[in-house]
Amino acid sequence: MAFLDHVAILQVAVPLLAAPLCVMLPGRHLPWALTLSVSWFTLICSVVLLSEVSAGGSIAYHLGNWPPPIGIEYRVDAINALVLLVVSGISAIALPYARTSVEHEIEPDKHGLFYTAYLLCLTGLLGVTITGDAFNIFVFLEISSLSTYVLVATGARLDRRALSAAYTYLVLGTVGATFFVLGVGLLYMVTGTLNLADLAERLPPLAESRVVQAAFAFVVAGMGLKLALFPLHAWLPNAYAYAPSLVTVFLAATATKVSVYVLLRFVYTVFGHEFAFIEPVLAWLVLPLAVIAMLAGSVVAIHQDNLKRMFAWSSIAQIGYMMLGLALANASGLTATVLHLFNHALMKGALFMALGGVMLRIGAVSLTSVRGLAREMPWTFAALVIGGLGLIGVPGTVGFVSKWYLILAAIEKGWWLLALLIAAASLLAVIYVWKLVEAAYLQPAPQDRERVRDMPPDMLIPLWVLALANIWFGVDAGLTTSVAGTVVHAFLGGGS
Amino acid sequence: MRHHLVLRVVSKLLIPFMLLFALYVQFHGDFGPGGGFQAGVIFAAAFILYALVFGIDHAREVLPERVLRYLVPAGLALYTLTGFAGIVLGGKYLDYDVLGSTPTAGQHLGILLVEFGVGVTVSAVMVTVFFAYAGRTRDVDEEDW
């Protein structure tokens, strides 16, 4: 029972086993300790997996020893190893932070159930990423989505609007998942297989089939909803704004990224370039929507008073960047998407962690309530500024690296206007980040607010780990760009 | 429901057979139609019938919610642990071949175990959902509508 032989399945099966055990654990500290150790275990697994596949090649694991395409296969290559690292890494960093934050925000007798839902969400997201079976993606997607609805709804203790946010997310998320499974069903109908690698071999001769084209449309629409591509983003701002802090950190950093990965996988591996109908869909549908998301998301973010909502709208804009890279479909564009998937997780993880600390100290996260707070919580707001600089794309932060590739991709195509629009969206980010900086640093503190201390160290250290990662991967992007290079090479079949 | 003599007598007669039939569907599921999900639903239906006829408080005495709280995850844990048993015994995750002395015996044992896990979780969830709804007190009084 060598660890290396089974690392792919342990990545998913250990959190899956931990979830039912977590319900049975008494008290508040044991469930947290279990979730923490499982998160660290999954991080170790994904580091091992990434180091095995980063040079190219892939790892396959056949569940129950049934060979594919009959059995379910887990297949890890560079792209999903990177996404696994994002999901498990954010979870591992967020869990030490979680103890104080969750104790403040969740009813004491619900901690076991809360962490169980969290573990199921982690299982689902890791499962979607690692599996090489189209229907298995749907199953894990539902595991993660159903637990996410519960997690969002637990925010109701602080703000009752979490309930309606969770309900909206439930309805729209279910529509998205249903569209996806309809697409998978159509593919199964014409090919008789659910294995992604097998689908990729059997689909090219069927490129002219209406059924295959409809399947593609269903998959794109379903995943578009799940990843909150404009105009299918309506569920996102409220879900992020009213969820408990830990949930917002985890979801904002991972959930939409996993959906972006699934879309990348379907567009570039399962369907591939042989399909003439994909290019116009990307160029005439996804690209304009991505540009609108980029601009509209930022403009709406400027007008938000609730900071969690502000950064939720900024997430919609940032997803626009990722989809733009995907739609540009050249090497630089895809590199930008893969890099931004990783980098945005770092930025939004840090930003929402900092807001969680503000929530802990003053119980609100609006522009008016944080006036003058930077003098009282200097470390928290310094990290917020680093994350904000990343959103703008200032050199030296992670945001710069991915935007650089994105602008490069637009220029390579000769689309100067698009490059200008990307820069314009960055300028819009300057405005909303500046509004936060101005309120926190330059305005006087309201008289009626009591003086507060900075975040406790167990929350501050994870926050700063992420904040420093924002700078580290911005200055030394060697690891991320080399993985992105491997991914793009695999997607485009040799740098076309 | 005190005056519904026929209902009480008939359901008292029926409930043991429902439970027995559920167990048949459960453990015959690898040979004939059936399996954990169907068996779990039938098993839970017996409890729900009991709760409908004799009142939810009696049903809660038979199957307290603190027990249900452990039964729901226990089924999933059984399923997952069967998977891990495959790894420990030298096969892959959920590999039933290595569970028994021969692959056939292993497959037999494996499917029985995971289906039993499904049955436990499904019946416990059905009863929990029923208790949760049936046990709800009204938020708004009848007169306040």
pLDDT band at B140 (very low <50, low <70, confident <90, very high): low
Domain boundaries, chain B: 5-137
Going from the C-alpha of B101 to that of each of B53, B57, B90, B109, B119, the distances in angstroms are: 47, 47, 13, 10, 25
Percent of chain A with pLDDT over 90: 69
The whole-number pLDDT of residue B2 equals 61
Q: For residues A190 and A31, what is the distance between their CA atoms, to the nearest angstrom?
A: 46
Report the mean per-residue pLDDT for chain A.
Answer: 91
The whole-number pLDDT of residue A3 equals 78
**Residue A56 above 80 pLDDT?**
no
Taking the CB of residue A453, how many other CB atoms lie within 10 A of it? 8
Put simply, the answer to whether B76 touches A63 (Cβ < 8 Å) is no
Query: Does the beta carbon of B70 lie under 8 angstroms from any beta carbon of chain A?
Result: yes
How far off is chain A from B11, nearest CA to CA, in Å? 33
**Residue A494 above 50 pLDDT?**
no
- Local structure of A476: helix, strand or coil: coil
Domain boundaries, chain A: 1-274, 277-496
- Mean of pLDDT values over A210-227: 93
**Residue A431 above 50 pLDDT?**
yes
A8-42 per-position pLDDT tens digit: 999 999 999 999 999 988 888 999 999 999 999 99
- Mean of pLDDT values over A180-196: 94
A98-111 per-position pLDDT tens digit: 999 998 888 888 89
Q: Please report residues of A whose CB lies closer than 8 A to that of B69.
A: 23-24
Residue with tokens 């404009």: A230
**Residue A478 above 90 pLDDT?**
no
Put simply, the answer to whether B92 touches A61 (Cβ < 8 Å) is yes
- Angle at which helices B5-27 and B103-134 cross, to 10°: 150
Cβ atoms A330, A412 nearer than 8 A: yes
A209-213, A273-277, A358-362, A476-480: least confident range: A273-277
Chain A's closest residue to B78, CA to CA, is A17
The whole-number pLDDT of residue A28 equals 86
Q: Which two tokens stand for residue A430?
A: 């300057």
Q: Please report residues of A whose CB lies closer than 8 A to that of B77.
A: 17, 20-21
Q: Which one of B73, B90, B93 has the shortest CB-CB distance to A23?
A: B73
The whole-number pLDDT of residue A149 equals 95
The whole-number pLDDT of residue B143 equals 66
Query: Does the beta carbon of A2 lie under 8 angstroms from any beta carbon of chain B?
Result: no
Q: Which amino acid is at A262?
A: V
Query: Does the beta carbon of A61 lie under 8 angstroms from any beta carbon of chain B?
Result: yes
How far off is chain B from A286, nearest CA to CA, in Å? 39
The whole-number pLDDT of residue A391 equals 92
Q: Which one of B87, B90, B92 has the shortest CB-CB distance to A62?
A: B92
Which of A:186-215 have CB within 8 Å of B?
none
**Residue A420 above 50 pLDDT?**
yes
The whole-number pLDDT of residue A490 equals 85
Q: For residues A124 and A146, what is the distance between their CA atoms, to the nearest angstrom?
A: 9
- Mean of pLDDT values over A334-350: 93
Contacts (Cβ under 8 Å, ≥6 apart) of B119: B22, B26, B35, B36, B37, B39, B40, B43, B75
**Residue A210 above 70 pLDDT?**
yes
**Residue A250 above 80 pLDDT?**
yes
**Residue A496 above 50 pLDDT?**
no
Q: Please report residues of A whose CB lies closer than 8 A to that of B111.
A: none
Backbone angles phi, psi at A319, to 5 degrees: -65, -35
pTM value > 0.95: no
- Mean of pLDDT values over A466-491: 88
How far off is chain B from A106, nearest CA to CA, in Å? 19
**Residue B145 above 60 pLDDT?**
no
- Mean of pLDDT values over A286-300: 93
pLDDT band at A495 (very low <50, low <70, confident <90, very high): very low
Nearest to A338 by CA among A489, A193, A177: A489
- Local structure of A87: helix, strand or coil: helix
Query: Does the beta carbon of B17 lie under 8 angstroms from any beta carbon of chain A?
Result: no
The whole-number pLDDT of residue A81 equals 92
Quick check: bond before A231 cis, omega within 30? yes
The whole-number pLDDT of residue A477 equals 82
The whole-number pLDDT of residue A40 equals 96
**Residue B94 above 60 pLDDT?**
yes
**Residue A228 above 80 pLDDT?**
yes
Q: For residues B52 and A79, what is the distance between their CA atoms, to the nearest angstrom?
A: 54
Q: How many Cα atoms within 13 Å fall on the side-chain side of residue A466?
A: 39
**Residue B23 above 60 pLDDT?**
yes
Percent of chain A with pLDDT over 70: 99
What count of CB pairs under 8 Å joins A to B?
54
pLDDT band at B142 (very low <50, low <70, confident <90, very high): low
Put simply, the answer to whether B77 touches A21 (Cβ < 8 Å) is yes
Q: Please report residues of B whose CB lies closer than 8 A to that of A63.
A: 92-94
**Residue A389 above 50 pLDDT?**
yes
Give the residue, A158 or B14, on which the prediction is more confident: B14
The whole-number pLDDT of residue A236 equals 93
Query: Does the beta carbon of B58 lie under 8 angstroms from any beta carbon of chain A?
Result: no
Nearest to A173 by CA among A140, A222, A216, A127: A222
Query: Does the beta carbon of A427 lie under 8 angstroms from any beta carbon of chain B?
Result: no
Nearest to A128 by CA among A116, A138, A115: A138
The whole-number pLDDT of residue B138 equals 61
Q: For residues A294 and A297, what is the distance between their CA atoms, to the nearest angstrom?
A: 6
Cβ atoms A325, A333 nearer than 8 A: yes
B97-137 per-position pLDDT tens digit: 888 889 999 998 999 999 999 999 999 999 999 998 887 76
The whole-number pLDDT of residue A446 equals 84
The whole-number pLDDT of residue B139 equals 62
pLDDT band at A276 (very low <50, low <70, confident <90, very high): confident
- Local structure of A52: helix, strand or coil: helix
B35-71 per-position pLDDT tens digit: 889 999 999 999 999 998 988 888 888 888 889 989 9
A2-6, A353-357, A483-487, B134-138: least confident range: B134-138
**Residue A364 above 80 pLDDT?**
yes
How far off is chain A from B108, nearest CA to CA, in Å? 14
A398-412 per-position pLDDT tens digit: 999 999 999 999 999
The whole-number pLDDT of residue B136 equals 75
